[in-house]
Amino acid sequence: MIPQAKALLNRAKMSVQEIRDLSGLSRWIEENTQNPKEITKKWGYADHEYQVDILNDDRQKVSIKKCSQVGMSEVAVRMALGLLCVMPNSTAIYTLPSSKFASKFSKARIDPVIKHSKFLKPLVPAATNSSELKLIDNSFLYITGSFGQTAAISVPADILIRDEIDFSNQKALSTFASRLGHAKDGGITRDFSTPTVSGYGISRAYDVSSQARYMVKHDKCGEWVAPIFLEDVVIPGFDNDLKLFEPADLENYTYRVDEAFVKCPHCGNKITEVNLAAPEKRQWVHKFDKPDHGGYQVLPFDVIRVNPIAKTLKQLEEYERKADWVNFKLGETYEDAETSFINEMIKKYLIPGQDIGGGCVAGMDVGKTSNILIGKRNAGGGMDVIYAERIKQTEEDYLHIRVMQLMKQFGVIKLVVDSMPDFTTAMQLIGANPIGKAYGAYYVRKTKTAFSNTDINDDDSIVNIYRTGSLDAAAKKVNTGVVRLPKCAETKEIQKQMSNIKRITATNSDGEQVNTWVKTGPEHYAHALNYLLIADSLCDHRAITGVVPSLPNIAKAKMRGPSDDNQTKLTV
């Protein structure tokens, strides 16, 4: 049959297909796409039966928290193409972390599905089949990165599929979501990703969803259970908590990794791989009734034929950081002393707060409510934070008045206060203090000075701070007790806010993997502490010294805006 005739026939098929409720999407994919490994065969779900219910979920939003190597990317491509075919005259946006990643993904994953589909190929004209845009009959598919080129950011859409959201630009993802504003019933959103840290990205989305787990009916006790890898996997000979298992332990012959198995959370007996692989003994069970938001967590033993227990454990040695193994191979969030401020360590090293000081340093994060921390070096060379306060600004400029009071009360010799996005407060405090006593702070992606987290400009009373490096250093000091926080009325709030900032690996506009700290809630005290530690480091810097003029004059400190140099300023 000539291509034009095929296309006409396929359009006719699409016009009579009414599965807009998506309950037949898995069947559509089976009938109209091929097996990527054996293109002469139709797509199937053998050993990946978990995918069927996810595809057929007709809720407005579905979030999939997953590990790697479970076939989610392959099925997501088919999901996107299938949605456009069963929802004629619609527009879908498929996002990936970067534009480079999106271009490669389009060519390597999407194009082959179209090429080998007898149904889809005639519907996609060559003239509108690029790596960024595909016309599928009367529907459009935009493939774009969250970093870099975002040509589809202004396109109204009916369908939004966001791939690897934890490694994407969160602000761009929110903007893409706004493109569904005019879609019928709010449009359709499908998010999936390997998780990073709790309260962020796909983990946050899953936490507010129906939270489904792919449960297994245990042959031994007959109970439906949902095992967790780090809690329910047993390595014969290894008697410690599996969370303590390290790459070096793989070389210990007394730990029989090849015999590792999943134990039943109910009866404690072994769940065999045959049991785990039997589709009639697996079932998605939702924890919550969420009519508009389905959530699914896919774990390695949900595709046990692909991810045997021993294989998953041995892959630990392929990762430099255990956090990455837990994120990618287990599909779980992970936080350690490198990726977060550990609450247990904060509690362990708490010290009594003080009302008086002398020779202190201070750091302040500015906002409608500003957070200030004051500290002083202890006898061991560490930093004791002795005072914390949240200060609300008023029309009478109470913030400036209160900070000056605290600086006098505690004998503050160095203050670092953030200057973005509004540097008015920083200007006032710099102008009201001797030169070299108060500095405005800007976060930057890198500093001019190699191996330093700061660039200091004494003439302008400005310090540029390498955001990632300085927060790395602050977390290390808190988690090892070099920095001790106060036991006071603000302690719980300090702990809460510091737990709301976490380190992840993300993809930048060049497609490179970079480390960055992200917030999962209010985190102002974390930045106040970071500024305090920078203030302490400035005490070892030979700054210009001066005296306060008879009338404080803020013009003496030339505060620079973001456009005054070529370094990229970051907002907190």
Sequential DSSP letters for 417-472: EE-SS--HHHHHHHHTS-TTTEEEEEEES--SSTT-SEEEETTTTEEEEEHHHHHH
Report the distance separating Cα 169 and Cα 97, nearest Å. Answer: 7
CA dist 141 and 81 (Å) reads 8
Q: Is the pLDDT of residue 93 over 60?
A: yes
For the segment 525-546, the average pLDDT, to the nearest whole number, is 84
How would residue 179 be classed by pLDDT, with cut points 50, 70 and 90?
Answer: confident
> Given this model, what pLDDT does residue 151 score?
58
**Cβ proximity of 113 and 56 under 8 Å:** no
> In the chain, what percentage of residues exceed pLDDT 70?
89
Positive or negative, the Cα torsion across 337, 165, 453, 463?
negative
Q: Which of 58-62, 151-155, 332-336 has the lowest mean pLDDT?
A: 151-155
Q: Taking 90 as the threshold, does the pLDDT of residue 488 lie above it?
A: yes
Residues whose CB is less than 8 angstroms from the CB of residue 180 and which lie 6 or more positions away in sequence, other chains included? 157, 158, 160, 186, 187, 189
**Best-predicted range by mean pLDDT among 349-363, 456-470, 504-518?**
456-470
- Reported as a pLDDT band with limits 50, 70 and 90, residue 548 is very low
Q: Say how far apart CA 482 and CA 511 lie, in whole Å.
A: 36
Cα–Cα distance measured from residue 538 to residue 546, given in angstroms and rounded to the nearest whole number: 16
Mean pLDDT, range 465-488, rounded to an integer: 96
pTM for the model stands at 0.84
What confidence tier does 421 reach under pLDDT thresholds 50, 70, 90?
Answer: confident
Residue 16 has pLDDT above 90, yes or no: no
Whether the pLDDT of residue 563 is over 60: the answer is no
The whole-number average pLDDT for the span 168-180 is: 88
In which band, very low, low, confident or very high, does the pLDDT at 509 lie, cut at 50, 70 and 90?
low
Structure confidence at residue 336 (pLDDT) = 87
Calculate the average pLDDT of the chain. 89
Phi, psi of 122 (to 5 degrees): -70, -15
Fold classification of 343-570 is Nucleotidyltransferase; domain 5 (3.30.420)
Lowest mean pLDDT among 9-18, 69-78, 329-338: 9-18
Domain boundaries, the chain: 3-207, 212-286+299-330, 343-570
- Helix ranges (DSSP H) in 293-444: 309-314, 322-325, 343-348, 398-410, 424-431
Fold of 3-207: Rossmann fold (3.40.50)
Q: What is the pLDDT of residue 150?
A: 60
Closest CA to 180 of 159, 201, 149, 153: 159
510 compared with 413, residue with greater pLDDT? 413
Residue 12's pLDDT is what? 40
Query: Of the spans 93-107, 151-165, 530-544, 549-563, which averages the highest pLDDT?
Result: 93-107
